[in-house]
Structure formats: structure tokens, C-alpha cells
Amino acid sequence: MFPSPPSAELIALAGAAAAKHALDFSFSVESQTYTAGALVCAIVEQESAWEAHAIRYEPAFRTRYVAPLGLSPTEEIARSISWGLMQVMGQVAREHGFNGKFLSALCEPEAGLDIGCAVLASKLAAAKGQGIALGENSSARVSDAAVIARMLQLWNGGANPDYAAQVFARLPK
């Protein structure tokens, strides 16, 4: 079964979440120019195929990052799951200010896109040393796809060396 195409409402929510978190740049890949909103949509396509209720348990992440925190068993498991459209890890969502009682709320498109774009903005800030102006100017232009690729590797945690290329391949959609 193939995923259905995203609704105009979901695409608009992705663009609004990007704008809310000052992801207001454009960049070029193979002579095509894309917006940050298009990049968020490509990440969503890569991560969840636009399935808002997608979840994935990550046992290695749990062992390495979450178990040492000494949380209740339920919170420990929930923080070890990637949630929603952008597949944000529960622990990462907590680190970026998500304070909802249940991490499953990240499966609600608006909440998941909001926290996902907050996390993406932090990854962009981490790449700032490579010449990206983050939200300082709505016409900020990022012409170096290598910087965006670095940001995507930070987003992915480096687990998939082909991640940036896979997301870039989804941009034209």
C-alpha cells in the first residue's frame, strides 16, 4: 500500500511551522531553488511518508541516551520512540521544550511539526559557523547545499550517511 499524497493543509502547516521557527531561507540543489518549507516537507516525506501517527521504537537510543536518566518506565519508553510526521525522538522533543504530558501528542500534526521545526532550527544554528544566516533576514539565501546536507546529517544523528541525498531527492515532489 502506498501512502496518499499530503493534503494542502499539512503542507501549509509545515510551511507555517518553518516560518514560526525562522526557517526562512532558500537554497539551491542541482540548479533548483527550494525554500525551507520545501525542505521540511521533504524531511516529512522521508521520515514518515506523511503518516501523522507514525512511531518507531529505538532501543539503541534508549540504552545510550534515555536509560541513564532514571525516568519512570513509561516516560523512558516514550522518550525512546520517534513520533509523528518528522519522527522526532521523545527525548529530543523534551530537550527542545515539549512539555506535554504525553509524548504521543507529537503525532498531532501541528504539535509534531512545531517541535520538529524547533529541532531543525537548532541543527541549522549548529551549522551556522559554515555561513548560514539563521532568520536574521527573511531574504537570507543559502547557496551551499553542503551546509544544508550537514544540517540534515545533524538532524539524522549521522546514523544514515545517505540521509541528505535521500531528502534532497524528495525536494522536487
pTM of this structure: 0.88
Angstrom CA distances, 161 to 110, 125, 131, stand at: 29, 21, 22
Domain definitions of the chain by residue range:
8-166
Residues near 164 by Cβ (< 8 Å), separated by ≥ 6?
Answer: 148, 149, 150, 152, 153, 156
Q: What is the DSSP string of 65-118?
A: IIGGG---HHHHHHHTEEETTTTEEHHHHHHTT---S-GGGGGSHHHHHHHHHH
Can you count the helices (H) and strands (E) in the chain? 8, 6
Residues near 42 by Cβ (< 8 Å), separated by ≥ 6?
Answer: 167, 168, 170, 171, 173
User: What tens-digit pLDDT sequence spans the chain (173 residues)?
Assistant: 456 789 999 999 999 999 999 998 888 888 899 999 999 999 999 999 999 999 999 999 999 999 999 999 999 999 999 999 999 999 999 999 999 999 999 999 999 999 999 999 999 888 766 554 444 444 444 446 778 888 999 999 888 999 999 999 999 88
